[in-house]
Amino acid sequence: MTGPDRRSVLAGLAFAGGSLAAGGARAAMPRNLRENPAFLVPPFQLGVASGDPSPDGFVIWTRLAPEPLQPGGGMIMAPVPVAWEVAADEAFRAVVAKGEAIAHPELAHSVHVEVSGLQPDRPYWYRFRCGTERSLPGRGATLPLPGAPKDRVRFAVAGCQHYEEGHYTAWRRIAEEPVDFVFHYGDYIYEGRDTGAGSRLMNGRPFSPLRRHLGDEIYSLDDYRRRYALYKSDHDLQAAHAAAPWFVSFDDHEIDNNWANDRDQDGTAPEVFAFRRAAAMQAYYEHMPLRRSSMPQAGHMQMFRRARFGDLLDAHFLDTRQYRSPQARGGKDGPIDAEVRSAQRTMLGDRQEAWLFEGLARSDARWQMIAQQVMLMQLAVTPAGGGAAGYSMDQWSGYLHSRERLLGHIADRRLTNVVTVSGDAHRHFAGDLLRDGGEGRPVAAEFLATSITSGSDGVGEGDVYHRSVAGNACLKAITDRRGYVLCDVTRDTWRGDLKVLDSVMRPDGRLSTFASFVAERGRPGLLRS
């Protein structure tokens, strides 16, 4: 076996909980291993994925689930060997790495292989085999070497994909885009119960679910596993995973709406909520192409991390849920007060903030991206009937001390190459980042991607919320439609296209570009393209 092949095999088996002895002989394998499993139904029903690329490799993922919605995914409760291979060509004529991993029932028979020993800055193809069954292939890619010349990076920003509220057409369109990676900002699943077949109100408009959740609100590990299986059974979502590597982050609905650190929105005792959070994090890890460094430990996941795209882009991926203080004002939106401004409250926590600040300060890349979950723009929302403006307590506007520290760090160090991407708000937003009070020149720019389906078809620019934020000088564009943001980063410009679908309640909605904006390196803020 060649050096890269052997390193990849060892890495894959070590990650999966097994090992190889010298010369490739098995050692210390599970005693109850099922060597040659047979399936009546193919086990790769949930597709494949790659993620967290590096210059010499990436993670490849799958989960064995011949009957995804049945207990245990329809799998026998025993560890199973899964073979994998990575090729330099789509036809798999030039296999450059291969090995065997163990799909453990403790991890829902998921497999996370950290492939290494590959060449930088190029695509690869991968696939899995279990017994006589073989998965469809996926496409991964490695990053450029740190500091290597790089002229262009293209990627999509997307998330918020409520299963009941539309087709995943946007994921199919992303799969068709020639992107280097996808950033999923969060809300991969929604934790709520089946809302039933009848009509209900959504933002004041009648709505009937297109598809249905199964059962009640989810709490247990089995509940979360089945919800992920339901979502990942969608073929458009599978296509987007197979088309390019992903960087993933969770937001709130992967656990519970608006959770913060050790608190949920219902007032559950923290020591009780900890059980739910641990179950949800395990299920999240089981279904995402994440490295072992993100494997949950004692109800915590290491999710903030960094990626370098040569000399062009440094990407800082944040976690705005695990370390934040509980929302001010009990989470109820409203005016800014002393609690909102309190220096005792944090969005990132001390360790993550120090990590981010240090990374921003030492970067020598042409561009820097802060990829995170919730809006950094400070939008004043004026009530329809008049009165004092209110602010979201779940976004950075509810954590003004943390927001001011971040923007102050960027401004004080004259970092004129920072763009942030985010989501959660179920609308497209594009705008400038101004310091508290909205005065002075822009510090950076923000693209907030709308939802894949959450909010269903929306109403474009005609909703009440659109009118309520129209007076914010920092805001350049907003629309209540579904879609994603397509970013095209070159040496001196960062272009963001706000992609929208005319409908997600019918299949194959028409895709168009609502608006495009450009940030110029050395000139913070957005210009209409």
pLDDT score of 26 more than 90: no
* Residue 155, phi then psi, degrees to nearest 5: -155, 160
pLDDT band at 388, cuts 50/70/90?
confident
H or E segment and range at residue 286: helix 270-286
How much is the pLDDT for 205?
82
**The pLDDT of residue 2 is above 70:** no
pLDDT tens track for 280-317: 999 999 999 999 999 999 999 999 999 999 999 999 99
Residue 365 confidence (pLDDT): 98
Banded model confidence at residue 12, pLDDT cuts 50, 70, 90? very low
pLDDT at residue 28 in the model: 64
d(CA 289, CA 373): 18
pLDDT at residue 155 tops 80 = yes
pTM score, whole prediction: 0.94
Q: In 78-223, where do the E strands start and end?
A: 80-87, 95-103, 110-115, 123-130, 133-134, 138-141, 152-158, 181-184, 200-202, 205-207
Q: Are 96 and 89 in contact (CB under 8 A)?
A: no
- List all residues 6 or more positions away from 188 whose beta carbon is below 8 Å from its beta carbon: 159, 161, 228, 231, 248, 250, 253, 254, 284, 287, 288
* Backbone dihedral region for residue 77 (phi beyond 0: left; psi -120 to 50: alpha; all else: beta): beta
Closest by alpha carbon to 399, among 444, 346, 437? 346
Asked if 371 and 249 touch (Cβ cutoff 8 Å), the reply is yes
Task: Flag whether pLDDT at 25 surpasses 60.
Answer: no
Predicted pLDDT at 258: 98
Let me know if 206 is exposed, middle or buried by CB neighbors in 10 A (0-12, 13-18, 19+).
exposed
Helices assigned H by DSSP within 163-234: 169-176, 221-232
